[in-house]
């Protein structure tokens, strides 16, 4: 495909030589800058991503080498009409690409040892001078070039030296392993540019152009066309490459930020910055180990504020938050280096007293703490005073590590029931709260057989269109004497005492049955169910779901299984296996409460879920916390990058709704749209259009009730 194009003119010679040389310098400097920018994205050369980045970098540099030749020849054109052989010119570009691959490949994604830098500079130098010389071939000069050796050697030495300096500057900015700063990168690119243009001029000198009398390709690809391509075309390609590289770097940075923030959040409480329960557990385990070794004791203080709720309600949540922060600061001030403080959430704190405290020490410590907490908090011209109740458990007297915090809590409750503003040591009789749990357990056993459990459904909204596309099933227990008991109360008991298996089976069956009822009414709802850790460990799970789907003739694609992130993380290999089996069935997998567990992004990739559900605690903070916005934005970007759908739960305000939409969340769920409702209420909404809000059900949810379609 030789482009039989326009006739050559000497038009480009109108432009003064110096200007043309400067143009060549600009293009080759830009090319080198882009090449370095792409090359620094190579992390590991022997991966596909690494190879692609290197290829991009080498292509950019090859564009630079080639452009500097075309523009350089046009800067001082021979005194006769000349043109290029198109294919030959492409061949020169390919040769430049090979040299660039070798040169950049030597130093990309590795530690830049002097040996590698020298090899790289050598390859680039030979490549540059070689292709500068080759570049004369597509001109088809007559009678033909006779090379003068000395200028050629000088060109080669200059090119290698220049490339060596350029690579040196690039790695000087970093420390051989880290990428250079942008200033050093620009310096390095300029040195590359200068050495490309200079060596090209030396090569032209060595070729003795003055002795030539004509070009056999005078009527082929015009020099002016190529110069245009080499300047405007090259710059356009290079700028696109640079933009791409910069965008990729930004995305990577925001992902990294999100990951660190997620990690920080999984160990710290967002409000006070104190360690959370998870981190406290770790610190306690360590302290117990040390105490065992030294035959020492420890004290755990469970601190709960008295009368915090009225403060929160009368002065507002923002002031309530300030009080919680102030208390955290006072506890921190009180803690000695061997003590630890944590915030459990709400108005509950934990403190670990080290250094072998006696019961009396712990008591005195608690009294002092209470005095400090009891001093008025002044904020924004207002004043709030709270007292506190403290429960104390001493290790090892008051139980093994697994029971310490619960026992300290039981002691706190006892202090509170004594009127508050006091402290109490743990005593065995205080675990009567456990008796209450045993009562619940006894009732729960009956609940299943007596039909006291039922499911309510909370709609999921497609964010861009605002249409209802499905619903999440949530369990409710209508207790004969206590009234409605929430899942947060009874699911943990069911899990602890082995009832969750039977309840989970009932849930699967019931959700599929309901989906069948809706289908018969002409409504093809997508239904999501929550799976507990216990269910996930059960090898029967996938078969059970399969059977329920078949029994009620529900398409697997209509069912989503939500698995809490921490559960998926705790038992990783098992979770991966189970998710694999569920995927084979064709049901969807969603990672629930995302952001609350130990998030490992690489593990997420392995777990082949289709959806992430951002925990409502992040959504709650969206309006007030830039951190929360950064995390959610990062999570959404991450999810898009690895091809996951993102759902946000707990959307309560219009402002949260708008922020989440602008981030590109796929689906939303929350009280703003609809609270969990009975299946009948949901049908009424879909069929008769009587719902809490003016939302439409997606058209495709309505089944065409064609003859024979009814089951």
Which residues lie near Ca ion (CB under 5 A)?
530, 562, 592-593
Residue number, 313 or 367, with CB nearest to ligand C2E: 313
Residue number, 370 or 669, with CB nearest to Ca ion: 669
**Could you say which of Ca ion, ligand C2E, none residue 200 binds, taking C-beta under 5 to 8 angstroms by partner kind?**
none
> How many CB atoms are closer than 10 A to CB 309?
12
3-state secondary structure at position 392: strand
The phi and psi torsions of 120 (rounded to 5 degrees) equal -60, -45
Two structure tokens written together for 470: 């499905």
Q: Is 29 in the site for ligand C2E (CB under 6 A)?
A: no
Q: Is 621 in the site for ligand C2E (CB under 6 A)?
A: no
Q: Is 108 in the site for ligand C2E (CB under 6 A)?
A: no
Q: How far is the CB of 468 from ligand C2E (least distance, A)?
A: 14
Residue number, 599 or 669, with CB nearest to ligand C2E: 669
**Could you say which of ligand C2E, Ca ion, none residue 527 binds, taking C-beta under 5 to 8 angstroms by partner kind?**
none
456 Cβ contact list (under 8 Å, min separation 6): 473, 474, 476, 676, 677, 678, 679
Single residue of 576, 652, 653, 677 touching ligand C2E by CB under 6 A: 652
**Could you say which of ligand C2E, Ca ion, none residue 242 binds, taking C-beta under 5 to 8 angstroms by partner kind?**
none
Binding span for ligand C2E by CB under 6 A among 148-156, 232-240, 251-259, 663-671: 663-671
Closest-CA residue to 667 (of 527, 464, 458, 530): 464
Residue with smallest beta-carbon separation from ligand C2E: 670
Site for ligand C2E in 565-604 (CB under 6 A): 592-593
The phi and psi torsions of 179 (rounded to 5 degrees) equal -70, 155
Residue number, 30 or 567, with CB nearest to Ca ion: 567
**Could you say which of ligand C2E, Ca ion, none residue 276 binds, taking C-beta under 5 to 8 angstroms by partner kind?**
none
Mark 61-92 as b/e (b = at least 16 C-beta within 10 Å): bbbbbbbbbbbbbbbebbeebbbbbbebbebb
Compute the distance between CA of residue 16 and CA of residue 6 in angstroms, rounded to an integer. Answer: 23
Q: How far is the CB of 187 from Ca ion (least distance, A)?
A: 51
Binding span for ligand C2E by CB under 6 A among 151-159, 374-382, 480-488, 513-521: 480-488
DSSP string, 265-331: HHHB-TTT--B-HHHHHHHHHHHHHHHHHHT--EEEEEEEEESHHHHHHHH-HHHHHHHHHHHHHHH
Residue number, 326 or 592, with CB nearest to Ca ion: 592
Q: How far is the CB of 486 from ligand C2E (least distance, A)?
A: 5
Residue number, 562 or 633, with CB nearest to Ca ion: 562
* Pairing, β 645-648 against β 483-485: unpaired
694 Cβ contact list (under 8 Å, min separation 6): none
Q: Is 509 in the site for ligand C2E (CB under 6 A)?
A: no
**Could you say which of Ca ion, ligand C2E, none residue 21 binds, taking C-beta under 5 to 8 angstroms by partner kind?**
none
> How many CB atoms are closer than 10 A to CB 249?
14
Q: Taking every pair of C-alpha atoms in the chain, what is the biggest distance, in angstroms?
A: 111
The phi and psi torsions of 42 (rounded to 5 degrees) equal -70, 110
Residue number, 29 or 560, with CB nearest to ligand C2E: 560
> How many CB atoms are closer than 10 A to CB 624?
12
Q: Is 671 in the site for ligand C2E (CB under 6 A)?
A: yes
Q: How far is the CB of 484 from Ca ion (least distance, A)?
A: 19
Q: How far is the CB of 567 from ligand C2E (least distance, A)?
A: 9
Single residue of 650, 657, 679, 686 touching ligand C2E by CB under 6 A: 650
3-state secondary structure at position 46: coil
The phi and psi torsions of 77 (rounded to 5 degrees) equal -70, 150
Q: What is the CA radius of gyration of the chain?
A: 36
Q: How far is the CB of 599 from Ca ion (least distance, A)?
A: 14
Q: Note the residues at the interface with ligand C2E (CB under 6 A).
A: 458, 474-475, 486-488, 491, 507, 530, 532, 562, 592-593, 616, 649-652, 669-671, 676
């Amino acid at each position: 495909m030789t482009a039989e194009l326009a006739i050559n003119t000497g038009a480009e010679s109108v432009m003064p030589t110096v200007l043309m040389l400067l143009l060549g310098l600009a293009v080759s400097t830009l090319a080198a800058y882009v090449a370095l920018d792409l090359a620094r994205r190579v992390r590991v050369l022997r991966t596909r991503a690494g190879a692609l980045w290197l290829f991009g970098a080498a292509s950019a540099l090859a564009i630079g080498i080639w452009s500097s030749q075309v523009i350089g020849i046009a800067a001082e054109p021979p005194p006769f009409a000349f043109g290029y052989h198109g294919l030959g010119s492409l061949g020169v570009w390919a040769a430049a690409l090979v040299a660039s691959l070798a040169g950049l490949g030597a130093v990309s994604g590795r530690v830049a040892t002097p040996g590698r830098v020298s090899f790289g500079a050598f390859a680039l130098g030979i490549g540059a001078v070689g292709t500068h010389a080759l570049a004369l071939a597509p001109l088809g000069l007559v009678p033909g070039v006779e090379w003068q050796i000395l200028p050629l050697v000088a060109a080669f030495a200059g090119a290698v030296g220049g490339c060596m300096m350029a690579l040196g500057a690039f790695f000087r900015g970093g420390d051989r392993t880290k990428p250079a700063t942008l200033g050093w990168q620009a310096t390095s690119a300029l040195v590359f540019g200068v050495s490309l243009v200079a060596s090209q001029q030396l090569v032209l000198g060595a070729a003795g152009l003055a002795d030539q009398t004509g070009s056999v390709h005078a009527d082929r690809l015009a020099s002016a066309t190529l110069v245009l391509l080499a300047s405007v075309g090259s710059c356009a390609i290079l700028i696109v490459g640079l933009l791409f590289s910069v965008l990729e770097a930004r995305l990577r940075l925001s992902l990294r930020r999100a990951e660190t923030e997620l990690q920080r959040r999984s160990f710290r409480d967002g409000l006070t910055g104190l360690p959370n329960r998870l981190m406290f557990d770790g610190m306690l385990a360590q302290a117990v180990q040390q105490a065992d070794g030294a035959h020492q004791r420890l004290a755990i203080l469970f601190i709960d504020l008295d009368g915090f709720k009225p403060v929160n309600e009368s002065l507002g949540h923002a002031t309530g938050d300030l009080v919680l922060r102030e208390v955290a600061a006072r506890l921190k001030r009180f803690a000695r280096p061997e003590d630890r403080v944590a915030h459990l959430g709400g108005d509950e704190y934990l403190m670990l007293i080290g250094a072998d405290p006696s019961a009396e020490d712990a008591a005195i410590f608690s009294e002092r703490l209470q005095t400090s907490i009891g001093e008025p908090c002044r904020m924004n011209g207002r004043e709030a005073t709270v007292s506190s109740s403290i429960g104390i458990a001493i290790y090892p007297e008051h139980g093994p590590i697994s029971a310490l915090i619960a026992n300290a809590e039981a002691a706190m409750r006892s202090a509170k029931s004594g009127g508050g503003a006091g402290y109490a040591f743990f005593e065995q009789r205080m675990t009567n709260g456990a008796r209450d749990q045993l009562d619940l357990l006894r009732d729960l056993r009956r609940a299943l057989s007596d039909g006291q459990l039922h499911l309510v459904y909370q709609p999921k909204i497609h964010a861009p269109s605002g249409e209802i596309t499905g619903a999440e099933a949530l369990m409710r227990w209508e207790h004969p004497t206590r009234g409605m008991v929430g899942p947060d109360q009874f699911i943990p008991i069911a899990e602890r005492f082995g009832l969750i298996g039977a309840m989970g089976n009932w849930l699967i069956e019931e959700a599929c049955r309901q989906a069948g009822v809706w289908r018969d009414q002409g409504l093809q709802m997508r239904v999501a169910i929550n799976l507990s850790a216990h269910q996930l460990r059960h090898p029967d799970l996938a078969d059970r779901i399969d059977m329920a789907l078949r029994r009620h003739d529900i398409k697997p694609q209509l069912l989503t299984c939500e698995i809490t992130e921490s559960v998926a993380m705790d038992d990783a290999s098992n979770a991966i296996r189970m998710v694999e089996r569920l995927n084979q069935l064709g049901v969807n997998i969603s990672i629930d409460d995302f952001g609350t567990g130990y998030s490992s992004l690489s593990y997420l990739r392995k777990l082949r879920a289709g959806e992430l559900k951002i925990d409502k605690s992040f959504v709650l903070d969206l309006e007030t916390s830039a951190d929360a916005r950064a995390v959610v934005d990062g999570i959404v970007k991450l999810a898009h990058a690895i091809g996951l759908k993102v759902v946000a739960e707990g959307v309560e305000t219009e402002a949260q709704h708008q922020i989440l939409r602008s981030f590109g969340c796929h689906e939303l769920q929350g009280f703003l749209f609809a609270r969990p409702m009975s299946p009948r209420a949901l049908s009424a909404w879909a069929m008769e259009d009587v719902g809490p809000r003016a939302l439409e059900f997606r058209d495709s949810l309505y089944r065409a009730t064609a003859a024979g379609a009814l089951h």
